[in-house]
Amino acid sequence: MHLDVLIPGLFDGLANWPSNQNQGKQSTALGWLLSHGNFSRQDAIGFEVSLWRCFDPELKQGDELPVAALRTNCSDTPSICSDPVHLQIGVTEVELLSGPDLMLSQTESDEIVTLLSDYFKEEGFRFMLDENGLGILLLNKKANIKTTALSLVPGRLLAEKLPSGPDHSSWHQLSNEIQMLFHGAAFNQKREAAGKLPVNTLWFWGAGELVRPLKSDYQYIVSDDPLAELFAKRTDTKIISVPESVDELFEIMPDGRTLLVLDKLLAYSQKNDYLGWARQLEKYEQHWFKPLTDNIKNKMIKSISILTSTGERFDYLSHHRWWFWRKEYDLQDWINR
């Protein structure tokens, strides 16, 4: 068995946390695995880009991701991801909730589609929501802008993340108009009365063209992420939900090449929540990294690659277990290597 393990959020927040606070260095099984693998660095920044490159290695950093084309499964019609979000702007940071995190009811989703369909009718656009509460806007011409993927929005200055490029002003204006439209919407009044966060805008992103076919070298994709589901569907690869442990994973799929996405660290990193991140890392250590290391040492796993959302890559082959001279590094030590 070979595993590609994508761990977004592993290194993203470490630069912001004091080294004396970083108990992530105690993650000994993961530390052993990283230190005994061959280290390289890629220019992939962001969860979506890192995941996309598992199916399209030719994607370059800075390319506009064609996520909308993947969602619609149609490359002939210009489109852009238009996700209902709760966007909260602080003094120095931005918080964003989207998709499944908003827990939109079917009634709320229907009301949003009706509201936006009426609004976009004059423009000749068509708005749709998928089962995960993620939006697609079908356009009558290509959106000539550069956008920011969802995972890169939180924790950053908003002005740096808004659409840029030749058509940026019209998309900024559209975002402002959507905010006003949502402000007095009946479904939002009901959400706030129920103690839920309102949907206060759409986040536009992923308007690139799907110029190359996506290819999968995997027999299985193990992930709960909606984008991973799209890759599985597009490449006809079997996808399963992330189980609780390595043992459960082996029961489901004893052999083959597998992509495993462990993405729960990302939300804590985005919120700059070190304690939450450290607790989740310890859970991964006990349920995933230690058992994975044990299975590598007893040759159940022949090779494993650890991928991150900040460009680090660690490739471990079975004979690397004999590299006793390799120094073990703390997680924070990898940031500037």
pLDDT at position 296, please?
81
pLDDT at position 146, please?
96
**Structural domain boundaries, residue 21:** 2-58+213-334
Are the beta carbons of 133 and 99 closer than 8 angstroms? yes
Separation in Å, CA 225 to CA 42, 97, 239, 270:
22, 14, 10, 16
Q: Strand pairing of 303-308 and 38-41? A: unpaired
> Do 104 and 186 fall into the same domain?
yes
pLDDT at position 115, please?
96
For residues 246 and 234, give the distance between their C-alpha atoms in angstroms, rounded to a whole number: 26
> Do 152 and 217 fall into the same domain?
no
> Do 72 and 201 fall into the same domain?
yes
For residues 274 and 54, give the distance between their C-alpha atoms in angstroms, rounded to a whole number: 28
Residue 4 tokens, joined: 């590609």
> Do 167 and 73 fall into the same domain?
yes
pLDDT at position 301, please?
81
> Do 217 and 173 fall into the same domain?
no
Last residue of a domain, one of 205, 230, 248: 205
User: pLDDT by residue for the chain (337 residues), tens digit each?
Assistant: 889 999 999 998 887 787 655 554 555 889 888 888 889 998 878 999 999 999 999 998 889 999 999 999 777 889 999 999 999 887 667 888 888 889 999 999 999 999 999 999 988 999 999 988 999 999 999 999 999 999 999 876 788 899 999 999 999 999 999 999 999 899 999 999 999 999 999 999 999 999 999 999 999 999 999 999 999 999 999 999 999 988 888 888 777 899 999 999 999 998 889 999 999 999 999 999 999 988 887 777 888 999 999 999 999 877 666 666 667 777 877 777 7
For residues 58 and 40, give the distance between their C-alpha atoms in angstroms, rounded to a whole number: 17
Cα R_g (the chain), whole angstroms: 21
Are the beta carbons of 265 and 8 closer than 8 angstroms? yes
> Do 45 and 111 fall into the same domain?
no
For residues 83 and 150, give the distance between their C-alpha atoms in angstroms, rounded to a whole number: 9
Q: Is the dihedral angle over the CA atoms 267, 268, 273, 276 positive or is it negative?
A: positive
Residue 330 tokens, joined: 């703390």
Position 264, amino acid = K
Residue 147 tokens, joined: 């956008």
Q: Is the dihedral angle over the CA atoms 167, 168, 173, 177 positive or is it negative?
A: positive
Last residue of a domain, one of 184, 205, 226: 205
pLDDT at position 302, please?
84
For residues 63 and 39, give the distance between their C-alpha atoms in angstroms, rounded to a whole number: 25
> Do 292 and 329 fall into the same domain?
yes
For residues 171 and 118, give the distance between their C-alpha atoms in angstroms, rounded to a whole number: 18
Residue with tokens 């490739």: 315
Last residue of a domain, one of 153, 186, 205: 205
DSSP-derived letter for residue 286 is I
Are the beta carbons of 13 and 272 closer than 8 angstroms? yes
For residues 44 and 60, give the distance between their C-alpha atoms in angstroms, rounded to a whole number: 8
> Do 30 and 100 fall into the same domain?
no
Q: Is the dihedral angle over the CA atoms 331, 332, 333, 335 positive or is it negative?
A: positive
Edge-first strand listing for the sheet containing 257-261: 38-41, 312-317, 303-308, 2-7, 257-261, 220-222, 238-240
pLDDT at position 139, please?
95
> Do 26 and 52 fall into the same domain?
yes
CATH code of residue 274 = 3.40.720.10
Tally of structural domains, the chain = 2
pLDDT at position 55, please?
97
CB atoms near residue 297 (< 10 Å): 12
302-319 per-residue burial string, b: 16 or more CB within 10 A, e: under 16: ebbbbbbbbbbbbebbee
Helix axes 290-297, 28-36, angle to 10 degrees: 50
